[in-house]
Chain A
């Protein structure tokens, strides 16, 4: 699914975010990405999503060579990847339904398909009855569920979650984790950056730890490993 070979990323201001990262993630895996703020987690995610381009090295996502990729081809890559952010990134003026439908309009689905797919994914995240609400009328956990629904609407093979529980209380976080596990169970690869020791230590999955731009640990059924 994802393959990186000796990937380096230096930002124009001279900051070295990644300093030679090699990794292989197989289809269907659930991977935690842990590490302190500024360790390189965000850059790792941005490279996969082609928000940033690697300074050197090779990156392949879903069979596509991201280094040789032309900017014209980037939208096609992103249609195969769903993303969920800590701050949800929902459009405040649109209803829950419209926020999810938005992702499908962009890829020019037919209105009939959009309607049935949006209702399907809203049911999957348990928000079918709140389709007409606007984001401000929902709790944080519900807003994150809308964001997840939007991310999976286009049947992505890969879901990236950048601290999806960062703004949520523990109870709500478990709810989000349950949904992510369900999505993973249906075959979608998930990469989740997180600071939550509790989650990582409870739901044991592969853990990739990043420190100073390097992978310092890669462990199946691993634990958080830091004293938080």
Chain B
């Protein structure tokens, strides 16, 4: 649809003029968009960080293959090669029973000293292979496959923990998404109702435009511009708060956070990306709500 530049300018002028003329309605609509986008921003920031943490935890999931104590040195190497030959694994690391004992003792701190007694030949632990899957979601299938190999005593991968993390993550994602969609639709509804009130006053104008042969798009464009303006104005405060809030969080995260495996997404580019998303959602809410509300009045 080719539009002349001056027609384009006219639609912009009209759109801005209308928002100015109905300033109370504009404030009400912008308020609705602002509230929605604030909630959406908080939800999105939470969800994306949760995802980030979940990804980190998933990355850390590993399989420990305990080698049968009766296996000879060659047999142990043979098992290692067999695991390494699997297609969907990222890495295989050998950890001897001595290393296993040492890491056990150090992980228990002061309480680990009694285990010192088990050194040398009394060490009850097995040699082990530490396996990481290429895709953490394959962990369970890989583990059960390795379990069928010879010279394997046991395969540990914290089955319960892994399954729980995976299902929790997918729940959290879906619920967050549903909430955001519900919020967006509520806002569209609010805006289209607010604009409808201003349109009733402009009904006569639309009617006359139709009588003199205006196309529907010619009538719609100023409303499109008005909706876009409402959406963009409504995203200003949420984006400003997002920048300050996340900056503060980012500065203090290291102090608050004692668990170094939980890290928040870095300020840049995360805040920029999220701001872009917020602006886009705001624009869509505004335009959709506005264009929807004219629809009824175009049928003549």
Contact = CB atoms under 8 A, between A and B. Distances in A.
B213 interface: yes
Interface residues of B, number: 18
B209 interface: yes
A154 B6 CA distance: 19
A205 B181 CA distance: 65
What is the interface of chain A mostly: helix, strand, loop, or mixed? helix
B212 A51 contact: no
A51 B210 CA distance: 10
Nearest to B204: A91
B247 interface: no
A120 B280 CA distance: 47
B212 A102 contact: yes
B4 A108 contact: yes
Given A108-B4, A108-B7, A154 B205 contact: no
A15 interface: no
Interface residues of A, number: 20
Contact of A89 (B4, B6, B208): B208
Contacts of A110: 6
A105 B211 contact: no
B4 A83 contact: no
Contacts of A51: 300
Interface stretch (A57-65, A72-80, A176-184, A189-197): A72-80
B12 interface: no
B220 to A, nearest CB: 13
B250 interface: no
B211 A83 contact: yes
Contacts of A77: 213
A91 B208 contact: yes
A108 B213 CA distance: 11
